[in-house]
Amino acid sequence: MLTITDIRITPIANDDKLRAYAAIVLEGTFLVGDLRVVEGEEGYFVAMPSRRKRDGSYKDIAYPLSNEAREFLERRVLEAFEAATGRRAIARAEDQGVVRPDLLSVEEFGFTPKQNP
């Protein structure tokens, strides 16, 4: 799994659900920005960077390809959010685990996994 070497949190005030923007640095070489810390009905979660499509819907443009990677990323970002704001945000991840049945698998995304000889 990739190593997250830095997480930067930018708190947001005066928004109904958005609590912060986050940027992560992977292995000191690749920055992924525009992650969003959102407070939903079931607690806090991390929304991936997305863009608006012509039909008005949104599509994630960067996201983990497994639930294990998503849980790891969400936990690290929410821990950084807690440290930056003093707000408790981890409860949802601890209580339920994060399962996203809507995630595309590697094959559905269009990649073919390497086969070991």
Tens of pLDDT, residues 35-70: 999 998 888 999 999 999 999 998 999 989 889 999
Task: State the DSSP code for 7.
Answer: E
Q: What is the pTM of this model?
A: 0.75
Where in the chain are the domains? 4-50+59-102
Region of 34 (left: φ > 0; alpha: ψ -120 to 50; beta: rest) is left
Where does 4-50+59-102 sit in CATH, by number?
Answer: 3.30.1120.40
pLDDT for 89 equals 86
**What confidence tier does 12 reach under pLDDT thresholds 50, 70, 90?**
very high
pLDDT for 98 equals 47
List the beta bridge partners of residue 52: 58
